[in-house]
Amino acid sequence: MPKPKDMSLYNKVKTRVYKRIPKHSAYRSGVVVSSYKKAFSKKYGKRKKPYSGKRTKKRGLGRWFKEKWVNQRGKVGYKYKSDIYRPSKRITRKTPTTHKELSRKQVKRARSEKRRTGRVKRFKKGGMPPKEKKTPKEKKTPKTTPKTLMAIRREREKKIQYLKNQGMKDPNQFDLINYDPDQQGGRKMKESIVKMQRGPFPKKYTAIVRNKKTKKTRKIHFGDRRYQQYKDRTKLKLYKNKNHGTRRRMQNYFSRHSGTKKRGKAIKKERRKSKGFYNAKILSHEYLW
């Protein structure tokens, strides 16, 4: 840390400034330094340096100016009484908490406290300068070994045999990679929707479905008028004013009721569970969500 070369001159200047400005502040410290430099240059000339030693950023006003203190709007100056000043950059470990390190809640609390009391309590201590994030390494693709190739071939043959048993003439035309025979049941519905009409309160709609084999019909009430839906997909569009259209809510609905965020997967899963028979959940999935 640099020290004044002429301490007696420095102390004289200091006492003179302290009488004029009794309140401690960064401004007073700056006036002491500038007044001492002027007095030193008058006494010894402009060529000689008033301080000895190396400059440091860890102490004094040098670090303070480097930190660039600004208000919560990122500007200098008090537009409102509740404006709070924090450093915009971290220079050393001793730099106070910056604006970036404060949450909205902390800023709001500090502004209300400043408005009420005229000052703000000290924030948490500053830390080290923020470290640069390391770029994640790309995952290496697993090498195909003879064992894995044999396993893929066996799985393929198994699927081809299953499709041949189902009556498919050319199984190679089918997507064998994504095809899982254990998950195909229930996709083809054993019932057809004959009519869709307004349901009794509190239900939104009533679907009349007919069994394809027995030709018997039955009614299924689905949807609740008191709640919103993602989109009314029926031709009647009686409750389109209750569409919220929020994708996040739709995904949460499907994950709650069917364990997956995707609409298509959720519908297929419920159809498999019902073994081809319509129920209120399937109709809600298809026509309201």
pLDDT tens per residue, range 186-199? 468 899 999 999 99
Residue 80 lies in domain: 58-128
Give me the mean pLDDT over the 86-114 stretch. Answer: 86
164 domain residue, yes or no: yes
In a domain, 174, yes or no: yes
| Predicted pLDDT of residue 88 | 86
- The single residue listed with the structure tokens 């509740």 is 82
Lowest pLDDT segment from 92-106, 126-140, 203-217, 229-243: 126-140
> Tokens 């004013």 appear where?
241
Q: What pLDDT score was predicted for residue 281?
A: 94
pLDDT of residue 282: 94
99 and 73 housed in the same domain:
yes
Instruction: Say if 143 falls within a structural domain.
Output: no
Lowest mean pLDDT among 75-79, 94-98, 176-180, 270-274: 176-180
pTM for the predicted model, two decimal places: 0.39
- Note whether residue 145 is domain-resident: no
Chain centroid offset of residue 52 CA: 51
Q: What is the pLDDT of residue 172?
A: 53
Q: What is the pLDDT of residue 177?
A: 44
Structural contact between residues 167 and 254, judged by C-beta atoms closer than 8 angstroms: no
Is there a domain that residue 135 lies in?
no
Residue 35 above 60 pLDDT? yes
In this structure, the answer to whether residues 109 and 75 fall within a common structural domain is: yes
Q: Which residues pair with 209 in a beta bridge?
A: 193, 218
Residues 266 and 253 reside in one and the same domain: yes
pLDDT band at 16 (very low <50, low <70, confident <90, very high): very high
- Dihedral, CA of residue 60, residue 64, residue 66 and residue 71, to nearest 10: 180
Average pLDDT, whole number, for the chain?
A: 82
Which of the two residues, 209 and 102, has the higher pLDDT score? Answer: 209
How many folded domains does the chain comprise?
4
> 43 in a domain, yes or no?
yes
> At which of 32, 55, 78 does a domain end?
55
The confidence score (pLDDT) of residue 211 equals 93
Q: Does residue 173 share a domain with residue 201?
A: no
The answer on 261 and 219 residing in a single domain is: yes
pLDDT of res. 143: 64
